[in-house]
Amino acid sequence: MTSVTSLSDSVQQRLAAALTAALPDADSADPLLRRSDRADFQANGILALAKKAKANPRELATQVVGRVESGDVIKEIEVSGPGFLNITITDGAITETLAARYADADRLGVPPKETPGITVVDYAQPNVAKEMHVGHLRSAVIGDALRGMLDFTGERTIGRHHIGDWGTQFGMLIQYLFEHPGELAPPDAVDGEQAMSNLNRVYKASRAVFDSDEEFKERARKRVVALQSGDKETLDLWQQFVDESKVYFYSVFEKLDMEIRDEEIVGESAYNDMMPETARLLEESGVAVRSEGALVVFFDEIRGKDDQPVPLIVQKADGGFGYAASDLSAIRNRVTDLNATSLLYVVDVRQSLHFKMVFETARRAGWLSDEVTAHNMGYGTVLGADGKPFKTREGETVKLEDLLDEAVERATAVVREKAEKAGLTEEEIAENGRYVGIGAVKYADLSTSPSRDYKFDLDQMVSLNGDTSVYLQYAYARIRSILRKAEDAAPTPHPELELAPAERALGLHLDAFGTAVFEATAEYAPHKVAAYLYQLASLFTTFYDQCPVIRPRPAQDVVENRLFLCDMTARTLHKGMSLLSIRTPERL
């Protein structure tokens, strides 16, 4: 692994050194470098620094220009406006920097961070015995992408799928199964769809008895107590629901082309044994207080109707523990046992009040501190093409599998249209259809800021034009095809060559890949990676329009250097898409 300093970092360092030399007493010397349309980069920081030092900004800028070590990197540096600096990079430095990245096929020269932490990512958390909905889709897609990005920066990530596998509804389900044994087929005898339909059937049947039979209701209540106190027979039946549900979950995640590890499925139930202690610690420290029998935490700033304080309920008056107790216990586990330095929750924004109260409680209890941050990446609602919450025409919630199947179907049709020209087999068409369809669903989600609602519009998602994954996948496949066709020339950097404007623009953008990913990761913003990739594909298109690679054929060294730019673009697209967990087929 070679780690390559980006051109912007190298200019930044040179300017900072010159600034420090010109203003030895200033406590910061950030030139605030940005990409710019006028030159390659513009530094805007001198204005503020001059103001602080009571110096004339243009004079200071001129001094910096005089002191800067331009080396082989800076071709031109000039003062503009009230004290900006415009910087142009040499063509040779662009090609050489990219060549160094090219030599590191795995990381493209992007070094991992020096002091990585441990981030626990809580995502993809469906509920046992329930159908997954589009909200669960968002959590899975966003969480998986954030994890890919974090891993790339060198952070260690641990996944936690906090599935809903605990609570009073299990009393009803288990009691029903106890009285009607054999209603759930063994998990190894069913596929995902059958598992879910079995669960649905049992759910409906048990609900019907529960609603009509008072005595059953009472037996179900007793079952909850038996479950919480760890009664063996009850737990065995409960486990059947969990196992049957997992068959279903795994089938959906597989459809989503997403790897979920069994040891990371740690649901609400896993924290059951910790809950009494969590409650005791909170009560003893005075963070939680008894109120009408329940154990609760109050917050001055959180008020509901009639200005009444809304408490977080740690333990109900009947002694039962709920959602908050499991989340508080999970924080203790993640911080103390997993040594997490960051906790990230990818959960619907509608649960943001819950997390606000849980985090604040954990802070008061000392489980969260300045060393351990917690963040709820609250995502918005999935809307239909009509802009209303996503429902079927009949007003029912849409089944996730149906949605994914339809996306694949549409994508396969799109792929098939072009397939003949690309000479694809039926098998390749089917595989590409899956990669394009699932990629489209993921990308549409990821290219929107997570906090915003997003429209689930299949027509738009699989469109070849515009900001879609298909567009990026075609860009990738097209480059791969160019490289295959160029049999008599191999991608080879030639730093001595002059570059055309479109080559420079593409090159500078390629060089900024690592910076873009690191910035996006620090903000938990996958859409910024998506935006980077979309821009990359657009810059490539311009380059390919303006700079012939093979026809009409330029000189051999130009061909090689352009093929090198092509390959570097392909690798960067591939890497970036893989961080978002989207496939890039070689032929489309």
Residues 166-225 that bind ligand ARG (CB under 6 A): none
Q: What is the DSSP letter of 372?
A: B
Q: Among residues 227, 347, 461, 508, which is the contact residue for ligand ARG, using CB under 6 A?
A: 347
Tally of residues, the chain: 588
Q: What type of residue is 448?
A: T
Site size toward ligand ARG (CB under 6 A) is 8
3-state secondary structure of 243: helix
Question: Tokens 């586990």 map to which residue?
Answer: 333
Among 132, 210, 228, 133, residue whose Cα is nearest residue 173: 210
Binding segment (CB under 6 A) for ligand ARG, from list 122-130, 278-286, 314-322, 422-430: 122-130
3-state secondary structure of 401: helix
* Residue 340 beta carbon to ligand ARG: minimum distance, rounded to whole angstroms: 13
Q: According to the binding rule CB under 6 A, does residue 125 interact with ligand ARG?
A: yes
Binding segment (CB under 6 A) for ligand ARG, from list 109-117, 121-129, 207-215, 289-297: 121-129
Which residues are registered as beta bridge partners of 156? 118
Q: Which helix (H) or strand (E) holds 87?
A: strand 84-89
Q: According to the binding rule CB under 6 A, does residue 257 interact with ligand ARG?
A: no
Structure tokens, 230:
């760890």
* Residue 460 beta carbon to ligand ARG: minimum distance, rounded to whole angstroms: 27
Residue 27 phi, psi dihedral angles, 5° rounding = -85, -15
In the shown chain, the binding pattern of residues 222 to 241 toward ligand ARG, with x for contact by CB under 6 A and - for none, equals --------------------
3-state secondary structure of 98: helix
* Residue 153 beta carbon to ligand ARG: minimum distance, rounded to whole angstroms: 23
Binding segment (CB under 6 A) for ligand ARG, from list 120-128, 379-387, 447-455, 514-522: 120-128
* Residue 323 beta carbon to ligand ARG: minimum distance, rounded to whole angstroms: 7
* Residue 555 beta carbon to ligand ARG: minimum distance, rounded to whole angstroms: 59
Q: According to the binding rule CB under 6 A, does residue 122 interact with ligand ARG?
A: yes
Query: By C-beta, is 162 or 575 nearer to ligand ARG?
Result: 162
* Residue 164 beta carbon to ligand ARG: minimum distance, rounded to whole angstroms: 4
Q: According to the binding rule CB under 6 A, does residue 378 interact with ligand ARG?
A: no
User: Please, are residues 97 and 505 in contact by the beta-carbon 8 Å criterion?
Assistant: no
Alpha carbon separation from 165 to 169, 235, 464, 473, 544 (Å, rounded): 10, 12, 41, 38, 53
Q: According to the binding rule CB under 6 A, does residue 327 interact with ligand ARG?
A: yes
Query: By C-beta, is 122 or 144 nearer to ligand ARG?
Result: 122
Q: According to the binding rule CB under 6 A, does residue 127 interact with ligand ARG?
A: yes
Q: At what angle do helices 134-152 and 426-446 cross, to 10 degrees?
A: 90
User: Please, are residues 346 and 143 in contact by the beta-carbon 8 Å criterion?
Assistant: yes
Query: By C-beta, is 162 or 562 nearer to ligand ARG?
Result: 162
Structure tokens, 151:
């891993």
Query: By C-beta, is 122 or 257 nearer to ligand ARG?
Result: 122
User: Please, are residues 317 and 294 in contact by the beta-carbon 8 Å criterion?
Assistant: yes
Structure tokens, 306:
């009639």
* Residue 374 beta carbon to ligand ARG: minimum distance, rounded to whole angstroms: 11
Query: By C-beta, is 257 or 327 nearer to ligand ARG?
Result: 327
Query: By C-beta, is 131 or 155 nearer to ligand ARG?
Result: 131
Query: By C-beta, is 209 or 266 nearer to ligand ARG?
Result: 266
Query: By C-beta, is 29 or 279 nearer to ligand ARG?
Result: 279
CA pair distance 204, 219, nearest whole angstrom? 17
Residues 136-165 that bind ligand ARG (CB under 6 A): 162, 164
Query: By C-beta, is 295 or 324 nearer to ligand ARG?
Result: 324
Q: What type of residue is 48?
A: A
Q: According to the binding rule CB under 6 A, does residue 314 interact with ligand ARG?
A: no
Among 487, 538, 480, 552, residue whose Cα is nearest residue 509: 538
Query: By C-beta, is 110 or 199 nearer to ligand ARG?
Result: 199
Parallel, antiparallel, or unpaired for β 118-122 and 156-160?
A: parallel
CA pair distance 497, 92, nearest whole angstrom? 7
Query: By C-beta, is 143 or 491 nearer to ligand ARG?
Result: 143
Cα dihedral 71→2→473→436 (10° resolution) = -150
Which stretches of the chain bind ligand ARG, using CB under 6 A?
Answer: 122, 125, 127, 162, 164, 327, 345, 347
